Structure 1
Amino acid sequence: MDEKLSKVDPKLLDLLVCPLSKSRLSLNRETNELISQKAQLAYPIRDGIPIMLISEARKIED
């Protein structure tokens, strides 16, 4: 794992939901993103801060 990637507080991860679907998120450590399976979106984490904007999310391709 890249040392430059910052860790996100696990308590924060428990509180966050997808702003589009309101579903729970899972952490993908390889891409440093929060994943919403229901909305098929990946939200980036920059400097340890989840960017929870739909406009910043990456669409997950099947």
Structure 2
Amino acid sequence: MDKKLLDILVCPVSKAPVEYSAETNELICRTSGLAYPVRDDIPVMLESEARTLTSDERLKDK
């Protein structure tokens, strides 16, 4: 994931910063508890396409 792009992307729900998870190929927002998929190197920042984080994922690396 391009670092410059990651620096400007925010969660469309909470407006909080997101972090890239290479393990799941998703952009994670712990504030809203959503994970946005990255398809063909393009972040899909739509709430309808996001999945809800599990409790463990939400607390991970905090």
**d(CA) in 1 for partners of 2:43, 2:51:** 13
Report the CA distance between 1:50 and its aligned residue: 0.3
RMSD (Å), alpha carbons: 0.6
Larger RCO (alpha carbons 8 Å, 6+ apart): 1
Q: TM-score, normalised by structure 2?
A: 0.86
**d(CA) in 2 for partners of 1:38, 1:10:** 20
User: What are the ranges of 5 or more consecutive residues in structure 2 without an aligned counterpart?
Assistant: 56-62
1:33 counterpart (26, 32, 37)? 26
User: Which aligned runs of 4 or more in structure 1 are off by greater than 4 angstroms?
Assistant: none
User: What are the ranges of 5 or more consecutive residues in structure 1 without an aligned counterpart?
Assistant: 1-7
More helix by share: 2
1:44 counterpart (37, 42, 45)? 37
Q: TM-score, normalised by structure 1?
A: 0.86
